[in-house]
Amino acid sequence: MIKTTTLTPKLVKPKSAKPKLAKPRSAKSWPATLRLGQVISLLFIMACHAGYAAEHAIILQYHQINPTLSSDTSVTPEQFQAHVDYLKANKFNVLPLEYIIERLRQKKTLPEKAVAITFDDAHHSIYKHAFPTLKQHDWPFTIFVTIKSVDANSRSFLSWEQLREMGQYGATIANHSISHDYLIRRSHQASYQDWQAKVIAEITQAESRIEAETGQSHRLFAYPYGEYSAELLTIVEKLEFTGLGQHSGPIGYNSNFLTLPRFPVSGVFAELKSFAIKLASRPMPVINKTFRDNHGNTLTTHVLPHDVVKPVLELQLSGSNTQLSQLNCFASGENAIPIFIADLHEGKIRTQSTQDIGIGRSRYNCTLPTGEAGSYYWFSQPWIRLARDSKWQAN
Ligand SMILES: [Zn+2]
């Protein structure tokens, strides 16, 4: 049995009445937005996989589909089509995100090769360049909507009308806040209570609005910029939402459902070879993780004081550890970083960047061969390092 990680914040259940938002649909009921063809496809998948055997799935994360713009957050229509063709040719099962999450949360198996496709920010290009091919394949997908962008009535973003239309074809409309602000960042002027009230409003008002406009409420929240803190996770848990980040990795039975990883597949990550490796990945069997500073002191959170420039990540992995010597870890902007096997028998390793990590967001990614050709266990640890004279505080 896998234990919870040492970093799971001690979350306290709310004493007040539960929020008035609608409950998420149970995994037993099909998403109401699925049209008949998709329900039949899902039933067919279930029939073909009577023994549903997988305990993991992959969530892909896109932003824009853009023929001209090349950036970390965009793919070209040709790249997107190549991804669709790859999923089709290799018999991946594209399933609704909320279905995958509920199955795994309840420790119920999924078909092998289960994948969810997600888009952040509600760019108009989704409608133009992704929706036609997704509709053609009867594949569900999820759009994490920033309310302010949709309400702007800009040609760059989707309209509520388009979101409703895509909802009819199996799109899950989910929550990416009202404003897309940096939610974890509290200015020195704001009180903790003010910050808390603002964050609650960002999440609950966005969910209410999505429900009013589309009839959907799945309580899936994608953190703007993938940034979360222990305090934000407490709020998301109290509100009974699932939280999704932007650090990479597959999801499984033992994932933290407040910080589910997704594989960004835009920009340099759109290349088919790396796309295939991500799709074949499995969750790293991490049973414990600890953060330390250079002096060996334990850090309670991945939001780092300014002077912690080379955070130490300690992991304990379960299962056979004979492959531990094949573990690789990488830091943002750096190639492989050193790994120290602290205890082979206990599966304990320690890794640390050799260069200072930057201010703001960065990551350590670790991979370990599963033993199957081309398949790796994958783990990603996000960091957020504060600036020296930060204009905000981490609560
Ligand atoms: Zn976003």
Which among 255, 281, 307 is the end of a domain? 281
pTM value?
A: 0.88
Helix residue ranges per DSSP H, the chain = 36-48, 77-89, 97-105, 124-125, 131-136, 147-151, 160-168, 192-214, 230-238, 272-279
Comparing CA positions, the residue from 142, 149, 170 lying closest to residue 40 is: 170
User: Quick one: pLDDT at residue 8?
Assistant: 36
What is the spatial distance between Cα 124 and Cα 338, in angstroms, rounded to a whole number? 43
Instruction: Kindly state the tokens that stand for 117.
Output: 């496709």
* Residues 128 and 155 sit within 8 Å (Cβ to Cβ): no
Q: 247 with 383, same domain?
A: no
Q: How many angstroms does the Cα of residue 226 sit away from the middle of ligand 1?
A: 8
User: CA end-to-end span of the chain, whole Å?
Assistant: 33
Strand-pairing partners, residue 286, are 317
Task: Give the span between the Cα atoms of 368 and 379, in whole angstroms.
Answer: 9
Structure tokens at 130: 């992704």
The answer to whether residue 19 sits within a structural domain is no
pLDDT at position 4, please?
A: 37
Burial class (CB in 10 A: 0-12, 13-18, 19+), 323: middle
Residues 271 and 319 in one domain: no
- Ligand 1 centre to CA of 122 (Å) is 9
Closest CA to 207 of 14, 16, 23, 17: 23
Residue 158 corresponds to which tokens in the numbers above?
């989707």
Segment 162-180, tens digit of pLDDT? 999 999 999 999 999 999 9
- For the domain that residue 259 is a member of, what is the CATH number? 3.20.20.370
Say how many Å lie between the CA of residue 308 and the centre of ligand 1.
27
Between the CA of 46 and the centroid of ligand 1 the distance, in Å, is 33
Same domain, 68 and 101: yes
Tell how far the Cα of 224 is from the centroid of ligand 1, in angstroms.
5
Alpha carbon distance 363, 150 (integer Å):
31
Rounded distance from Cα 176 to ligand 1 centre (Å)? 7
Domain membership flag for residue 26: no
The domain total for the chain is 2
Tell me the CA–centroid distance for residue 180 and ligand 1, in Å. 6
9 domain-assigned: no
Do residues 276 and 293 share a domain? no
HSE on the CB side for 179, CA within 13 Å?
Answer: 8
CA of residue 20 to ligand 1 center, whole Å:
26
Query: Domain check: are 235 and 136 in the same one?
Result: yes
Low-confidence ranges of the chain (pLDDT < 70): 1-51, 70, 320-322
* The pLDDT value given to residue 3: 38
Question: Do residues 225 and 296 both lie within one domain?
Answer: no
Amino acid at 230: A
The pLDDT, as a whole number, for residue 235 is 98
Query: Of 233, 248, 281, which marks where a domain is finished?
Result: 281
Q: Answer whether residue 340 is part of any domain.
A: yes
- Predicted confidence at residue 69, as pLDDT, reads 72
Q: 202 C-alpha to center of ligand 1: Å? A: 14
State whether 272 and 317 are in the same domain. no
Shared-domain flag, residues 157 and 294: no
Domain co-membership, 175 together with 54: yes
Query: What's the pLDDT score for residue 35?
Result: 58
Quote the Cα angle for 67-262-196, to 5°. 110
Is 14 within a domain? no
What pLDDT is recorded for position 321?
61
In a domain, 30, yes or no: no
Residues 237 and 263 reside in one and the same domain: yes
User: 55 is written with which tokens?
Assistant: 């305990």
**Residue 125 and residue 155 in one domain:** yes
Q: Hey, what amino acid is at 24?
A: P
- The domain containing residue 69 runs over which residues? 36-281
Q: Tell me the CATH number at 325.
A: 2.60.40.10
130 Cα: distance to centroid of ligand 1 (angstroms):
18
Residue 197 lies in a domain: yes
Nearest to 107 by CA among 254, 2, 323: 254
27 assigned to some structural domain:
no
Q: How far is the CA of 121 from the centre of ligand 1 (A)?
A: 5
* 237 in the same domain as 191: yes
User: Residue 142: in which H helix or E strand, if any?
Assistant: strand 141-145
